[in-house]
Structure formats: structure tokens, C-alpha cells
Structure 1
């Protein structure tokens, strides 16, 4: 997938104009709210992704919940005091810890009218929407003309009024609950004394109206509990022995999934919350190869096959040694290189008619890049195999072990981050078996298709699916290396700076990569055969090796 605009001389390679009359015939197309649904409770419906085993199937997460006979009810309250901020993964983990441990009858989220948690521009932080659609007892309550916050902390009188009415507990979003039934529920009131404010405040309902402050609530009964939550440092031992933890550092699913986090106690507990198991999720492998040994390109609009596409196809046939290459599109490629490929390779290269997809899930698809993406969903879902962009050249055979996985992908390069996404995928090269679960979820996610967002559908959505379902695919950094502006950034290192340093000396590690993917621009050495043969650069050497493998040098 090209991540930069195509220059004018190459636009014809992929773009197919859509007749205006066809656009007008597509009912329900809204170019400003593409893929969005109706408004609910005054909030626009936002993209959300199914969370595996969030509530109904995990009520016995640790043990059977005890039926309460006295003490603090199973009700949790949150107050949103952050201004124009997103509901992050840390916020989500706080609420999820309550769902897992308290097994609440209700969770209330109070916010001042007009200050509902915002959705970041890249639409990474959809965690609140996912809670809304996966937990049945979340109640979001706007507060009109009511002071619910005193600066960045909940207003004391507001908290007391809600506790008097409902009972339960108020909890700060920086807190993750570890235990409730034995440690907190039996008491008349509970207080977590944090460094600056209370992290948890709870009580039974219906206490007298004259009890207006926290101190008055404390003095009202001797059956209370005051405690503290330790900071959740990664090496904190005995996590399950605490009542709660204070989340002091930003968290992302990928942090929990690193191999270095496998035996870290705090991360093990967070994985238990989010994924249901303390250990690292295992990516399923099969005894036999399940990925078909066939290559697929998507090519809409016809036009001349350029030289890098020609080299790409040869590398699939002679370096990957695919059985067949299928070129899917509404018109076949043309030009001398396409004719040469068909003449020399015969039935090993086949054009397959594929109608240009003008829509998906009732949303209009206009951009040819998006059309290629949604077509690729269906092609890979049906047939499986190896899919690559036309500007990918393979440099060594694929590791046959990769053919035993349901799906294999790579991360996008680190040099152009899409914050707050910690990472994204680049599906310029992808391998999968037919009907893999990842591709099923990926295609289904196109319910939230956005025509005007270049990287949402192709790069960011598949990453979000992986965050929630890490056992569905293998991330193989050596499968492809992305090159932007002729700088190549491997993703087998963990930081931008490491990738930048490696980009300065590609020769030192080039043999580790299975393919190179030039998203923009293509190297001039690969413009035509004369340039390739007359050049001795590293990129020219990649192309020359393809010709040698094909017996054309």
C-alpha cells in the first residue's frame, strides 16, 4: 500500500475514475460521516471493535461472585474530569478491572454536558465505545448545571450525593481493582488514601442527609476500611495480594505482548484482565502448510505494467517460487512488460477479472487505493496465498515455517508514526490461509469504512484487530522492509532511533529481509532495464539478482 501520493505520471497505474451518475445512485452515502451510524444518547456512534470474552462469558473469572447480604453494593461510579481528552487504554483497564473483580450491577460514568471523552483524530482510542457495546450495564450520564469536578478531581458534594442515592464506590481512573468481595464489600465505607486525593471512596446507600463530607462519612461508622493502592511498577511482586493498583505509566496492548513482558508480574495481571490469560497469547500453527503457494496482485484501471511490477512478478515466481501469480482487476495490465511476462511465463501468470468495488457495507468506495484494499479482503479471504503490492521485490525465499500460520503480516515502518497509535501494520506483503479468522474480522470491520481517511482502512484497522486478537496472526518483521523516500527502516528493532541508525547502512542487514517495499518513490534504478543493467547501487543489485534467478541476466 503506497503511503504517499502517486506522481502524475504513474497515477494511471491504479486509478479508475468513477462516473458521476454511479456516485449519485448510491443511496445513503454521506461524505462527512462515512461509515458512521445514527446518534445514540446524544453522542455520535463511533467505531468499536468486539472485545473477546469481556463480560458474559467471564463472570467466573477468578471465582463465583458472592451474593451480597450487607455492605457495599456492586455499583461503581466514575467522574470524567479531564477536559477535551480521550478515553485511553489506561482508563479502559480501570473499568475492566471493576468488571472482572467487582462484577458490578451497574457502572456509572458522569460527565459535564459538552465534555464527553473525545475521539482522537486517528481514532485509536475507541475503548469507551467498546465498553458501551460489550458491557451491558454501563450508564453514561451527562450532568447539566451541576458541579461534578473541582479541577481535575471529582467534586466531594457530588460524590456524596450519588453515594447516598445508589451506594457503591467511586473510583479514580488511575486505579485498577484487584479484589472486592472479601476486601471491600463487607464494610460500611471504604477509603483509598492516595498521594493527592482519594482513589476509591465507597459506602452503603441511604446514609443521613446531614452526612455531606468524606470526613463525616468516616466518623459515622466504625465498620470502615482505609487502605492504599501501591504504584503498579512492572516488577511489583504479589500483585494479587493487593486490593488495588495505581496505574502510573501509559499502557498499550503491545506493551503487554512483548516477549520481555512474559514473566513480569504486573503485565501478567494486566494480560489476565484484557486477554483472560496471564501468559503471552500463543499464535496458532498447523502441522502442515496451510498458506497456498500462490501470489496475488490487485490491479484496477488497466494501464501499462511498469518495470518494478515486472521485477516484482519475476521475484514471486523465481525467488519465492510461487506456483501461480493471479492479477485481479477490472482490466488487464498492458505494455511490453506484461506481454513479455505472459509470453515467457505462460499459464503461471493469469489475469482474473474482478469488478471494481464501488461500495462496501453500503458505503461508497471511490479512491482506487481503497478499492484495492476492499477487494484484497475478499480475495485473500476466499483463496488465501501471498498478496503483495506491485512495488515489492522479494530478495530471498520465504521461510517455509510461515506457511504454517493462519496469517502473517509486518508492522509499518517506525519513521512516520500515526500517534496515538503505538504502531500500525503495512499489508504490502501478507500471507494467509483461506478463510482465516483475521481476514474475517478485517472485512467485517469495513462497516466503519472511511473514504477520506487514507490509512484508517488499510493500516490502522488491522492493527486494532490484532491488539484485541493477538493469537490470530504472526508478526514477522523480516517478511518485508518498508522504504520511504529511499530510506529503508527494518521493524525487527523496537525504537525509531534504532531503525533510523540501521537505515544508514542497509548493506549490513539487507540479506535478513525477505522483501523490500518502496512505498514512495520507486528507485530510479528500477525504472527500466537499461537503468538496472547500467547501475551498481544496492537497489540495482536487488533487481539484478531477480533477473539472475529468472535466468534473464
Structure 2
């Protein structure tokens, strides 16, 4: 008779254990198991970039409001975000909200939402706003369902203005200037020619508490002709001075699209995003060149490590000295390099530097050897300047002085990942000593993610470029990355493909690029020894023989 309660207790204990284990697995999967695919799913963490104020922009007379003295015009903007739960807050949406911030300069910016905007590692614009704007308020729309672009939703938005006045800005609209009548006209508006009745802006100098006045304003808005224009219309000559707002579609816009463009829209977008109207100008100095030295880093990690310098690494060092145009090579390693090929280099300008391996960055443990190398290469370039090259890089042509005039130089990766328009590969880099770019990048390791293969090395680097484009040159011809027998010249159209793509390599020559970077396979038969190089008739064999020829070592093939 006593067995049944005991059995029930056992079943209850088992259920509790299963529940706890399930929670632990969910926690692990949510926080640690993104691995290689990080950036494809949603995240509620903004990319950690060095801080800069969103509140300050250079003054633009005639565009931003003259608010040097308090007035009775309500300093509140009501912004509408109405979309399904999966919709991302993209760059155009970011510009829309920034236009309200910088043109109207409100004391309070209220974002009304049905679902908070979704974010991921790239589209983290909304998270940036939340962390950067002290005057941003979030308010959920009433639970009752109202169609997002409907007249009923517009009426609801007017209801927020009714008590005291203020400004309503609809989704899909970017303000271009403060209207001249903002301080004088009791009620004015500008809307787009769109099926979405909320795609516009309303200025109310004072409240309108009776329902009849609100209905009168609603009918007036709905029946009025469109005065918000498209981006294309805004770019027409001598047209901008009459425009208060422009409407935008779901077409994708990236910061790279506005950096150097001369269109009026690009000027407006730069002012909103960067705080300056002029096209981005990279801080080049032809009288102060990046030093012609290069750094290798070789760390212990995995079962294949050896102090012995391989023939392929030997070719990499020679290529830097005799092809890339570098005057000295620094080989940073934990152990003293050895072997035939290291001895062959003793009469060259090559120096072994014993490297101190790190175990953490900003107190974050660094376990993966590839990530240890990532941190060390940026620290090394910040301290010494010059070039960094992975051990699997071969130089194919001399680096021109015009490139060395840049503050820092990086190049693109080829794999399509998530919503990133492009990515940066740090297998080949150039930088001045103590460059601002390298210093700012090192700060991003405060948000270091050891289990995420791509986050700090690829994703953060590109977001850094978007934020500080004047501090770095992105050179498509700095390197060509080759993976599993296929090379990806970044200057070719549609060079970005899936990592599973087997599209053949577009043709290119040695003079088309500075370096070739073979990420996989690690063992290239024609570059494994002088014997295989002599017989190798493939592209890599030609590269190896060119390096030996320019370094005066063709006798090694005899």
C-alpha cells in the first residue's frame, strides 16, 4: 500500500529533473550555440562600437529648427512603428527617426509600436537608438487591432496630438527640413502618395480637444494632394528647398551607399548619420606612409603545430620581401623557428620575435587560438604599424605608396552571411602605428564573444567601417581569397557567394591584386616542397616559381 506514493514521488522527481535539464539546454542554445551562424538570428545585444553622440550634428541653417530659446510649441515627436513582429528596423528607418531628432530637436521622442522592431547583428539600429538617446520613450499601442496604414490608425495618431499638440511622424518618412510655418501655423501636414494613410508628418502647434476638430483635420489630410516626395524626386535639381519630407519604400539602403555620393539625398543622409554633409574623405597623407614592414603571427594550437618553418611559409616571407616591397619581416612566434627554410632566411631582413600569448581581452577569457591571433594582430599593428599577413598569404605584386598613404587598409571577404552588404577579412591588413582605426577597433573587444567565430573578426569590423569610413581604406585588390580551389576577386561583380558555391574562379593575373590568401586547403601540393613546385603546372605553382625567381632562388628547384 505504501509503494504507490513512493513511485509517484519518483515520477515527480524525474519530471523536475527533465524540466531543469530542458531549461539548461534552452539557455545554452540561446546564449552559446550560434557558433558559425551567429548574425543570422535575432539578438537583443547591440554590436559594441566605440561610443559617439547621436545628439550632436553640425548646424544646417534652413533645415534644422532654430530652438535656441524655449517656446510654447510642444517639444514632443510621436513616431509610429507598426509592423509584424519579425520586421527589422533597417537603416532607412534609423534615418527616419534621426531626422525627427536632428531637424526638430524634441525634448521627448515617443516611439509608439504594436511590436518592438526586430534586431540582429547587422540590423541593430533600433538597439543603438535605445542605448544612445536619453529622450527616447517607448509606448505600446492599444491592444485592439488596428490596421497599420489605415485611416483608423491615422486617427489614433492624431489622438496623441489632441491634448497638447506636437509632431506626428509616420513610418516610411524622412524629414528634410523644418517647415517655415512651424512656430506660426496651428496645424499643418505633409503626406506621401501612398496607400498607407500614416505615411506623412503632422505639425500641431496646440491641442484640439474636441472630436469635431480632430475629424476635420483627418478629412483634410486624407483628401489633400501629396507633398512628401520620393527619393528620386528629391534628387532633382532646385527642388529640395520646397520639400519638407520624403517617403521611402522597402528598398534596401546601406551606409556605404551614401558615403561618397553627391546626390542631395546622400547629403541629407550623411548629415543625419555622420553629422556632416560633405562626402566622406579618407584621411590620406602622402608625406607619412605606413612603414614597409610586415608581421607574421604563429601560435601553438591544435595537434599540427611545429616550430619548423614550412616551405609554403618560407615562400610567404620571400614574397613579402621581394614581391610585396616590404623591407623587413617580423616573425612573431611562441617558439624559435627552425628547420631548413628558416636557416635559408638568416641572411634576409627577417627577425624572430618571441610573442607573449594572451589569455583574455578586457578581462574576457580568450580560448580559441584563432581568436587569440585576432587580438594579437590588432595589438601588434597598433604598436608597430606596417602590414599583417596570415601565414597562408603570398604577395603577388608590390604595394603602391598611394595605398600606404592611408591611415589603415583592409579588404573584403567573399562569403554571403546574413544581411551584411559586405564583410571584411583581416588576413591581410596595413596600418600606421597608433592609428585611430586600430585603437577604436581594439575597444570593440570589450564585447568579446569567444564562442562566436565571426562576430569580432568579421561582423564588428564591417560595422566599424560603416561608422568610421574616414579612418580606413577598403581596397578590393589588396588580396584575393581562395577557398577549396576557388578564388574570389572582390573587384568582380557578384563576387559574394554562398560558402557552398562551386562557381569557377573569374580570371585574374598577378598584377590584378597585391596578395593571394588561400584559407583552405592548408596543404597545397605544388607549394609543399621544391620538388612538387618544380612539377606543379597549376596557378599556385606559377606563383611559387615567380617568388623564387624574383628572390634569386630558382636554384632551389635544381
Q: Could you tell me the TM-score, scaled by structure 2's length?
A: 0.81
CA contact (8 A) 1:72 1:187 kept: no
Larger Rg: 2
RMSD: 3.2
Are 1:288 and 2:292 counterparts? no
CA separation of 1:516 and 1:474: change in aligned 2, threshold 3 A: same
Name the structure 2 match of 1:518.
Answer: 518
1:168–1:334: structure 2 CA closer, same or farther, 3 Å change rule? farther
Give the TM-score, by structure 1 length. 0.81
- The answer for the alignment partner of 1:56 in structure 2 is 56
Q: CA deviation at 1:434?
A: 0.7
> What residue is the counterpart of 1:398 in the other structure?
399
Alpha-carbon distance, 1:215 to partner: 2.9
8 Å CA contact 2:49, 2:464 repeated in 1: yes
Q: Is 1:460 aligned to residue 459 of structure 2? A: yes
Matches within 5 A, 1:112-511: 112=114, 115-120=115-120, 123-142=121-140, 146-147=143-144, 149-151=146-148, 155-156=153-154, 158-165=156-163, 167-194=165-192, 195-196=194-195, 197-199=197-199, 200-204=201-205, 206-208=207-209, 210=211, 215-218=215-218, 228-233=227-232, 235-237=235-237, 238-248=239-249, 249-257=251-259, 262-301=261-300, 302-303=305-306, 304-341=308-345, 343-345=346-348, 348-413=349-414, 416-496=415-495, 504-506=505-507, 508-511=508-511
- Structure 1 residues without counterparts, runs of 5 or longer: 1-29, 35-42
Secondary structure, aligned partner of 1:155: helix
| Greater length-normalized contact order (CA 8 Å, ≥ 6 residues apart) | 1
State the match for 2:102 in structure 1.
Answer: 100
1:207 and 1:318, CA in 2 relative to 1: closer, same or farther beyond 3 A? same
Aligned counterparts of 1:148 and 1:496: Cα–Cα separation in 2: 45
Shift of 1:535: 1.3
Deviation at 1:484, TM superposition (A): 1.9
Change (3 A) 1:198 1:505: closer
In the alignment, structure 2 segments of 5+ residues that lack a partner are 1-27, 33-42
- Aligned 8 A contact 2:270 2:276 in 1: yes
Deviations 1:322-377 (A, max 9, x none): 23211223334444433443x443xx222222222221122221111111001112
Specify whether residues 48 and 90 from structure 1 end up closer, same or farther in structure 2 by C-alpha distance, changes over 3 A only.
Answer: farther
**Deviation string for 1:193-239 (max 9, x for gaps)?**
3311132234345432545x953444799xx9975211112743323
**1:23-61 deviation line (CA, Å, top 9, x unaligned):** xxxxxxx99658xxxxxxxx9543243575632354667
> CA 1:116–1:546 in 2, change beyond 3 Å: closer, same or farther?
same
User: 1:56 is paired with a residue of what secondary structure?
Assistant: coil
Matched position secondary structure for 1:350: strand
Is 66-75 or 240-249 further displaced after alignment?
A: 66-75
Task: Return closer, same or farther for 1:229/1:157 CA change in 2, 3 Å cut-off.
Answer: closer
Q: Conserved in 2, the CA contact under 8 Å of 1:481 and 1:490?
A: yes
Asked if 1 retains the 8 angstrom alpha-carbon contact of 2:396 and 2:511, the reply is yes
Aligned length: 499
